[in-house]
Amino acid sequence: MHAREIMTTPVIAVTSSVPLPEAARLMARHGFTALPVVDSHGRLLGLLTEQDVIRAGIPGDADPDAGAMLSGHRTAGAVMRTPPLGAAADLECGELARRMSEAGIRSLPVLDDGVLVGMVTFQDVLRVLPAAGAS
């Protein structure tokens, strides 16, 4: 089975200028573990994960602006993971799972010529494992 057969579409994404608290609320409202960050043409720029949001909100000695997240001064683009990790729509499920596992993420953007077309999660892959093993 391929990414295009199990991906969720349309995709909810944010631009790099979206305030981090707004992105966090969007993730929480939809139960997302990650949000793709795209440019105005839908090209993937990065991936914002739960871990990135939480890490950005923890004040530290090295970053006096770390607490700025709460006032909306931090953006998705400031803390997103780059370079962007994505998968082609024809990538097999086993490879999708391997990439997510190696990157330590639970969802992966699906791209068509660099443009975001879907998202695949570990749950999507788990749902098709019994069918893949039966064939």
The predicted-structure confidence for 55-86, as pLDDT tens digits, reads as follows 887 554 445 454 444 444 589 999 999 988 89
pLDDT given at position 84: 83
Half-sphere exposure of 23 (CA within 13 A, CB side): 34
pLDDT digits (tens, 9 = 90+) for 95-115: 999 999 998 899 999 999 889
Q: What token pair was written down for 130?
A: 């019994």
What's this model's pTM, rounded to 2 decimal places? 0.81
Q: What 3-state DSSP class applies to 63?
A: strand
pLDDT given at position 133: 53
pLDDT given at position 74: 86
Run of H or E residues at 115 = strand 115-121
- For residue 108, with 0-12 CB atoms within 10 Å meaning exposed, 13-18 middle and 19 or more buried, which class applies? buried
Closest CA to 115 of 10, 2, 6, 1: 10
Kindly tell me if the per-residue pLDDT of 134 is higher than 80.
Answer: no
Contact 71, 57 (CB under 8 A): no
Residue 55 to residue 52: CA distance in whole angstroms: 5
